[in-house]
Chains A and B, each alone.
Chain A
C-alpha cells in the first residue's frame, strides 16, 4: 500500500483525537481521545517501519524492528499513564464530584 494512505489515515485519526480533546469537557473522554492520538501515531510508526523494511531489505533484513519496538514501548507507557491518569481522575471525582475539566482551573491561581 502507498505510505500516503497510512499517513493520511493516521493524520485523520490524530486530528479527530485532537478535536475530541478540544471540544469535550469530560476528563475521561479527553483521556480516551489522547489514547486515540497515541494509536494514530503507533499506526504510522508501524507503517513506516514496514516502509523502511521494504526499502532497505537488501541491505539489512532486520531494519524496521526498532519502529515496532517503539510502538511497543509507547503502549507500555500508555498503559502506565492510563493507570495513573485514571487514578487522578478518580481522586478528582471524589473531591469535586465531577470530571468536568472546567473545574480544574487551579492553574489560573
Chain B
C-alpha cells in the first residue's frame, strides 16, 4: 500500500484525529462513554504510531515536501496545501501525538462524570485540536501554519469555554481568542509582507529570499526586521508573552487535561516552533533577536513573581508556564534555537505531568483548587505525589532530570548573549524552584486542611489517570538525556545534531569548559538552596496574611489586567457605546433623517399656501401670471 509507506503515511497523522473528531462530533449522541474514549484514544495511538514511523524513516538532509493540493494559486502567488517533514516537524509530531495520546487516555477517566454527549463533545474538540496542531507543525508554508495556528486558537477557545454555563469561563474563552487574534493580525501582516517581497510563503524558499543561495536577496534589512517583529508579535499572542500573556492564566477555566495539553505542552509552544521554523530570518535580524530575548526574559521574571503568590494550583502552573515560555523566548533571542526547542520538549513532558498531577489532586478533592485547603495528600495519593515530585524536580532543573539539561542550555545561551541576561534568568530559575516547591509542599506536605467530607473521599485516581502520570514521569526524567551538553558527554547533544538540517549549528561563541562547569554548579547549587528555603518556609503551614505593598502588588498580578482594562478595553467599550448611541443615530442617521426633516419642514411651510381657499389659489395664480409676464416681456429682452 503506497499510502502506508513513507512519506505518504504522513497524511494519516492529521487525518486520524480529524476522523476521530468527525465520528465523535457527529455521533456524540449515539456513542457510549467507552466507545468515545476508545475511538479518540485509538486514533491518537495510531497517529502516534504513524508519527513514529515518519520519525524513523526521516531522511537526513533536505526536507520532504508532501503537496496535497493547491490551496491558493493566483498568478505569482502559489500556496500549496503541503506538509513539510523534517527533523523539527517530526520532533513536534512525536511530542504532540505522544502527549496527546496520554492526555486522551487521562481525560477518558477525568471527564467521566460528564454526560455522554458532553463527553463526546469534549473528545471531539480535543481531537480537532490535535488535528489543528498537527497542521501547524506539518505545514510547509506560513499559510498552512497559520491555518493550524488559528485552528488551535479556536479549539482552545472551545475547550476553555467547555463548561460554558459559567459566564466567567465563557468570558475567559473570549479573552483567549481575542488576545490571540491580536497576535494573529501581526502574523498575517507579516505573511502579507513576505508575499509582497518574495511572492512565496514556503519555508523552503526562505533561504532563497535571503539571498543565501547565490542570488541577490529579495528581502532588505528593513523587511526582515519588520517581518520578524510582526511574526514575534504573533508569537507573543499564542505563546503568552508580554504584552499578550494575560489570557493564559484565565484559560485555566478549561478542564485540567486541556490545560495540560493545550496551555502547557503544545499550543502555547507554537510561537517557539514558528520562530524556530523561521530561524533563518531571525538570525538575519539581530535587533529583533535582542527584543525577543528581552521580552522573553521580562515575561519569565514577571510571571515567576506572580506565581509566588498564587493560591490556585492551576494558576501557579499557568504562571509557571508563562515563565517557562519566557525562558524559551530568551533562548530564541539568544540565538539558541535548539535550546528553545529542547526546552519546549522537556517542558512539554514535565508541565503536562504537573498539570495532570494537579488534575489528579483536584479530582481527588472533588474540584478543590485552592492549595491553602490542601496539604498532606502524600499518603492518600502516593502515585500522584511521586510523579508530581519528579515534575517539580524537573522544572526546578535538578540533575539528572530533563529540565536540568534544557534550562542549562538556555542559561548558557543567555550567558553568551549577556551576563546581565544570565543573572536575571538565573534569578528567575531560583524563583521557579521556590514557587514550585511552595506549591508542592503546600499540596502534599503537612496535614490536610480541607473539609472533613473531602478527607473521607480522598482516593488515588484510577489507572487511566495514573498510567499517563507514570509514563510522563519517566519521560520527564529521561527526555533530557538526548541533549546532554558536550562538556558532560562527548556527542551527547544528539538533539542539535538531529535538528542541524533545519537549524544550522551556530558557531562562534565558545566558552571554556571551566566556565560551563561553573555556571552549571552555580545554578544547581542555588536552586537546591532555593528549594531548601521553600521547604523550611512552608513545611509548617502558616497563612500568608502578612500584607505588604509588594505582596499586594504581586497578589494583584502587577495590576496588568486592570491596566489593560482601563487603557484599552474600557475606552474601546466607551467609544463603541458612544458611536452606537450617539454618533450613529444622531450624527450620521441624523443627517439622513435631517434631510427628510428639512424637506418636511419646508413642505409644512409651503403647505400654508395650500390653504384650501380657492381665492388664495387664484391670487397666487395671478401673481404667477404677473411674474411670468414680467419676465417674458421685460427681463428676457
Contacts and interface: CB of A to CB of B under 8 A. Distances in A.
Q: Do chains A and B touch in the complex (CB under 8 A)?
A: yes
A108 B622 contact: no
Nearest to B625: A18
B618 A108 contact: no
B622 A104 contact: no
Interface string A92-109: 000000000110111111
B613 interface: yes
A102 B610 CA distance: 13
B611 interface: yes
Given A18-B622, A22-B622, A107 B615 contact: no
B612 A106 contact: yes
B196 interface: no
B546 interface: no
Chain B contact surface mostly = helix
Nearest to B613: A105
B615 A25 contact: yes
Chain A contact surface mostly = helix
B616 to A, nearest CB: 9
A68 to B, nearest CB: 27
Nearest to A21: B618
B614 interface: yes
B619 interface: yes
A108 B609 CA distance: 10
B610 A107 contact: yes
Given A22-B619, A22-B622, A108 B611 contact: yes
Contacts of A21: 615, 618
Interface residues of B, number: 10
A75 B615 CA distance: 24
Contact of B612 (A22, A25, A109): A109
A30 B619 CA distance: 13
Contacts of B612: 104-109
Interface residues of A, number: 13
Contacts of B610: 107-108
Interface string B45-63: 0000000000000000000
Contacts of A105: 611-613
A99 to B, nearest CB: 13
Contacts of A18: 622
B614 A107 contact: yes
A22 B614 CA distance: 9
A109 B618 CA distance: 18
B487 to A, nearest CB: 105
A63 to B, nearest CB: 28
A74 to B, nearest CB: 20
Contacts of A102: 613, 615
A104 B611 contact: no
Contacts of A104: 612-614
Contact of A101 (B613, B619, B622): B613
Interface in A59-109: 101-102, 104-109
A108 B611 CA distance: 6
B497 to A, nearest CB: 98
A108 B612 CA distance: 4
Interface string A5-22: 000000000000010011
B615 A101 contact: yes
Contacts of B619: 22
A107 B616 CA distance: 12
A86 B70 CA distance: 90
Contacts of A106: 612
A18 B617 CA distance: 13
Interface string B138-176: 000000000000000000000000000000000000000
Nearest to A30: B615
A22 B611 contact: no
Q: In the complex, which of the residues A25, A102, A106, A109 has the most CB atoms of chain B within 10 Å of its own CB atom?
A: A102
Interface of B: 610-615, 617-619, 622
14 contacts: A21-B615, A22-B615, A25-B615, A102-B613, A104-B612, A104-B613, A105-B611, A105-B613, A106-B612, A107-B610, A107-B612, A108-B611, A108-B612, A109-B612
Given A101-B613, A101-B614, A104-B612, 8 more contacts: A18-B622, A21-B615, A22-B618, A104-B613, A104-B614, A105-B612, A107-B614, A109-B612
